[in-house]
Chain A
């Protein structure tokens, strides 16, 4: 790995972030200079109350709601009756702060950095020389709260996070109406200034996890934080294809996991809640489990584990057994396979690898294309091409069945990142099974297990509780026990308040 690090080593020395970025005193001229050549920057001179005192009303068009700025800020500013008392700047600032403009959210600014930052967030500022008063006049831009696309629920809530940070926090607050729900906000990204909130429940979440999360967040020094991958790569010391952070677009699941003792992150612009201490057991559970009866939910959880193993192992097992260990196949099945493979020109290895790659390509094509076209591609690819290939004896039906079963079982994974990691491992296991038979498969599984045991997320092993928990915790992971029995939160998360019931 060192050669890769050498290959990508930067040719320039690191440059620490300059603070403050704008050392000049706050003024309309300096703000104009900072936003020079910014077509959306608006600066308007205003004579306060029609008197001698002037100020500049600054904002970024598109980010602010123009109508409310005109009505609730500009009109009171120019109203002589209301502004008559202000004879100097401190007096004007006092009047503005005390409610002259009709805005509940007002801040007095003395630093340029703060002013620039707030303007970029959609505030408008009344700027004097050396001081400014900002009002939160941002206009919400983005989708309304919609149904979750990735995590569909039957009996649970239907709403999902969207790209608006404040909407997301509101959705969360609706579910956890307690002041103990804390949102520690900070801006990440030198140029993007993305707002990120560390979300946790005071008195419940392990404070060490919260402080570690904040420490790692503050260590992130990148230009922009625009994707989850950026956050994941910089938050985790070792990034693995297996997701050590869980992502959810459902606020109910996010709230539920906070109640379990996890800490979370909400990022402005991302329609997802990010949860720390991601474990395999947690990623194989769905929110609906708690909505259904415990017996059916337990059965479905076990089915998901079985589906995970099938998705991971079936193609590799097929290759290993058909190429090396034919005696393991039941006689009737063997005869059936032999019969269907008689006129197929490709070897088992070529067939299986080709089908796996074709499956991945189909999936990728379906994802990238618009929904309607994507479905057509899937139908053409899976049904027409697949069926034609079998009828033309280019492929044997058993390979199509194996790859299809493996693919479908992969779709049952609640976490898409986990499903992707399984697809990657499946391909590696097929190659090992092809080279070494069952020996290779077992070797691959051993290495995979070893690797998974080495993963951890904020102090919680990825395979918890299977690697470090007692029987109670393991049963709790494998089944959905009656809620009356689950009086304690998962021990692996080290919650400060252990009990969740009386």
Chain B
């Protein structure tokens, strides 16, 4: 027993931090000395990188801004600006990249997150469209909320409105390594008068602007909200998006998307993928419609469904066109095609990346209007072949 205990305790000697005034294990810190950083922003101007850290410690928003040639240096420099406190990056929830930094420093930032012991791989990544991370972190002041809280709120909003899908650093790194491109949630600091509680009549808020398309070289381009919703239709992440469409009689109606299911049917000829058929099934509920609409008439339902299908068909067509034009499979179609018949996919001589830009893709959208309460629900199919 005694020998066994001593044997078990032996490895502890390796961990000993005795001699430098610390406890045995070494890396101990008193918790009240920590300044936990919630949001990190990275901007580039010329040769210098600027890192902005936001912390809600002590109930106040604390913002620190330090320049450096490298991220690591800039982050360590922050330590000089706090009195006896320890800047703690272990709780960083969001990483914001200014547009310039996203164009030039994206992969370096991701590599730094991967290597740094404190930063987490599940840190949410954002790109600030048309501005700097500093704009997004400094301007939306007031209300007592930290940038981290605002971004957390934004994350829920973009999912609900199907404007984008917030991705983590690990997911982006994995996508870049796997298919050579990734989508990152884009946002902008926008001045608006729509916030009624704003004291000066105008407030700066953070709004989603869709997706930023990134490649290993950096930021490629932004996808507007329409394209972003098209991407979400193909990936099935529709949230609770509201669709507005004309009812054919000069009025508008609104429906809420409740589900999207895309089926991929690859066609192979002589071992090569020649055609891809995408069948998108949408489920919607009617939210708002003119009081004159007679839902007991099946043709009315059919008209509404046709209008929705046409709208969504246009969205996914635009996304597929852009994706093929850029030669970047940012909707991750390759994985889904492979999942449909992996043996054939793996046996192809031409790699998917080469095949994808010229592939014949046909898509169809069918809409199922639920909860219309009156009349039988019909299903309308809109097909487009390019």
Residue of A nearest to B12 (CB): A436
Pairwise interchain contact A437-B25, C-beta atoms closer than 8 A: yes
Pick from A334, A440, A447: contact of B25, CB under 8 Å: A440
Q: How far is the CB of B37 from chain A (nearest CB, A)?
A: 10
Pick from A331, A348, A440, A446: contact of B91, CB under 8 Å: A331
Contacts of A349 in B (CB 8 A): 23
Q: B229 near A: Cβ within 8 Å?
A: no
Q: How far is the CA of A12 from the CA of B28 in the complex (A)?
A: 53
Pairwise interchain contact A338-B34, C-beta atoms closer than 8 A: yes
Contacts of A227 in B (CB 8 A): none
Contacts of A324 in B (CB 8 A): 25, 27-28
Per-residue 0/1 for A307-320: is the Cβ within 8 Å of any B Cβ (1 yes, 0 no)?
00000000000000
**Chain A residues touching B, majority SS:** helix
Q: How far is the CA of A429 from the CA of B192 in the complex (A)?
A: 56
Q: How far is the CA of A194 from the CA of B248 in the complex (A)?
A: 103
Pairwise interchain contact B25-A326, C-beta atoms closer than 8 A: no
Pairwise interchain contact B36-A341, C-beta atoms closer than 8 A: no
Given contacts A331-B36, A339-B59, A447-B5, are A323 and B90 in contact (CB under 8 A)? no
Q: A5 near B: Cβ within 8 Å?
A: no
Contacts of B24 in A (CB 8 A): 435-436
Pairwise interchain contact B5-A348, C-beta atoms closer than 8 A: no
Pairwise interchain contact A335-B36, C-beta atoms closer than 8 A: yes
Pairwise interchain contact B8-A334, C-beta atoms closer than 8 A: no
Q: How far is the CB of A342 from chain B (nearest CB, A)?
A: 6
Contacts of B59 in A (CB 8 A): 339
Pairwise interchain contact B15-A436, C-beta atoms closer than 8 A: yes
Residue of B nearest to A446 (CB): B8
Q: How far is the CA of A334 from the CA of B90 in the complex (A)?
A: 11
> What is the count of residue pairs linking A and B with beta-carbon distances less than 8 angstroms?
72
Contacts of A447 in B (CB 8 A): 5, 8
- Interface size for A (C-beta < 8 A) is 28
Q: How far is the CB of A116 from chain B (nearest CB, A)?
A: 46
Pairwise interchain contact B25-A331, C-beta atoms closer than 8 A: no
Per-residue 0/1 for B119-150: is the Cβ within 8 Å of any A Cβ (1 yes, 0 no)?
01000000000000000000000000000100
Q: How far is the CB of B75 from chain A (nearest CB, A)?
A: 16
Residue of B nearest to A450 (CB): B4
Q: How far is the CA of A71 from the CA of B170 in the complex (A)?
A: 97
Residue with the highest number of chain A CB atoms closer than 10 Å, among B1, B25, B38, B120: B25
Q: List A residues 331-351 near B (Cβ within 8 Å).
A: 331, 334-335, 337-339, 341-342, 344, 347-349
Q: Given contacts A322-B31, A324-B25, list 13 more A-B pairs with CB under 8 A.
A: A323-B23, A326-B91, A327-B90, A327-B91, A331-B93, A435-B25, A437-B28, A439-B15, A439-B25, A440-B25, A447-B8, A450-B4, A454-B1
> Which residues from chain B sit less than 8 Å from chain A, CB to CB?
1, 4-5, 8-9, 12, 15, 23-25, 27-32, 34, 36, 38, 56-59, 88, 90-91, 93, 118, 120, 148
Q: Return the 5 tightest CB-CB contacts between A and B, nearest first.
A: A327-B90, A341-B32, A435-B24, A323-B28, A322-B31
20 contacting pairs across A/B (C-beta < 8 A): A322-B31, A323-B28, A323-B30, A324-B25, A324-B28, A326-B31, A326-B88, A326-B90, A327-B118, A331-B36, A334-B31, A335-B56, A337-B31, A338-B58, A342-B58, A348-B30, A435-B24, A436-B15, A436-B24, A447-B8
